[in-house]
Structures are given as structure tokens and as C-alpha cells.
Structure 1
Amino acid sequence: MQVHFLTQDQDYPGEHSEVLEVLLQLRSQYTLETLAAQVKKQQAQGYQLVYVQADSGILAVAGFVVTEKLAWGKCIYIDDLVTNSACRSQGVGHFLISWFKNYAKAHQCTQIHLDSGVQRFPAHRFYLREGFNIASHHFSMLDV
């Protein structure tokens, strides 16, 4: 398994449609084309997309930003993280979280943060096993 960056200058969806197809498993409100456009737009604002690849294909995808906050200092915020449904419970998520820990250290980040939908109980169990804490409630206001 190897982690690769999906760079901003690559043709979307093009040869990387496999990466976006896995991301669509998490963000199903998009089509392949609208997801490609949104990823490109966010990349222009600092969003980075990585994927885990093996001989068998794309195993996982994660989108994140390196940011700095008054509350957290310099940190990684993971916006999107999904393991291909065909590869779950095989250590791929653990591999990717380990990569994030190393990436954080290499970029002088002291914390990693993410949000997870309240209904995603298997994901919550995974994050807790990986050492994440439930540190806050996330509030949102829609349609403002």
C-alpha cells in the first residue's frame, strides 16, 4: 500500500476517476463531474486529496487541510475519509491514519481533527480505536 497525492494539475476525472469513485461512496450527493469540479475548487484553497493504492486498486481516499486555529494551533483537519467498501476491516484505515500521524509530525502539526456524522457508528468505533477523542459537539446552521 502507498499513499499518493491527487495534484491540482491532474485532469479530472480522467485517469483519476477511480479515486473520485471511492470518494463518492462518502459524498454521494455529487456526480463524478460535480465532485471533480468541487475538489478542484477546494484544492485552490489549500485542500489536499490523498489516496491509498495497491495492486488491487484504490483502497481509501482522504481530503484534508493543514490549518492553524487559536484553539488547536497548527493541525490537520480531515474533511473526508473513506475506505473503499470492498476493502473495509482490512487495516487500510489504520494505515491511512498512521500516514496522517507521520505527515502531521513532518509538518509541525500537533493535532489531527475531524468530524463524523452522528449516525456513523462504525466510523466512530474506528476513530476511537485509532486514539481519537470525542472532544466537542459540532453545531451547524443550514440555509442561512
Structure 2
Amino acid sequence: MSVGCAAGVDAAVREFFTGSPSLLVFRASAPRFARAGAVGALALRSAACVRSVAPGARGLLVVSPSGACPSGVRPSRSFRGCGSGSWGSAALAAGLGRRVVVWLAPGVLPPVWAGFAWVSCGGGWWLLSRSASVAPMQLSLF
């Protein structure tokens, strides 16, 4: 299990799993990230955390952003959060083929990302899936 060093949900996960040998904490203050400056360290930390999630059905990135997705965030193979590390992480995970589920506060809707669809799981939870563009065809007359 991987988690970042932020307050909020990250802190709750770290506290709950304290002492677990499988907990991997990504800290922006780590030397490999800190050399990039304050903002760069956060982005590098988030990208490393996302990349640690197993691809395909073996892994799942759980994200709980504090608000709506900034308009410039799109799925990509490189990190770009436009001020939101949570949405940047979700977009990077999508671009890398990782599974993503987000919890959104009431009234907040997931972004529209080309090639992807959000499926409501209820209770504010949304699962991201690749949308298949299938050409319409007639299956039967009746």
C-alpha cells in the first residue's frame, strides 16, 4: 500500500496502517524529491506514489480530492495537477493504465476526459474506466 505525506486522508491512512510492513510512504521532503523545490517535490512525490500502484486489476489508486478538477488536468503519462495533486495523480494514473476510484463531495462532479468514462458507484464514489468507442450497428429488427 502506498500513500503520500499530505494531511487529511493521507494522514488517516498512515495512522491506521502504522507499523504495517506493506505501507510505503512517499514524502516530499525525501532527498530524491526535495531537490526539485517545494512545488516540484510535491509533483515528484505524487508521480512516484502513482507509479508504485500496480497496473491492471492488481492495483487501485484511491483519490479524495478537496474539490472540482482544474480545467487543465487531463490523463497523461506525465504529472500535471494545475494546483491539485489529487486530480493530477488521478490523471497520471489514468494515463499510465492504472485503475482509479475517487470520492467526491456532494455537488462535485468528475471531469470529462476524452477516452474515459466515470461510473458512479454511489455514495460519492466514482470509478474511472476507459470508454470504448464502438460504431453503432443494428443488432436486430425487433
The higher radius of gyration belongs to 2
TM-score range, shorter chain: 0.3 to 0.5
Structure with the bigger percentage of strand: 1
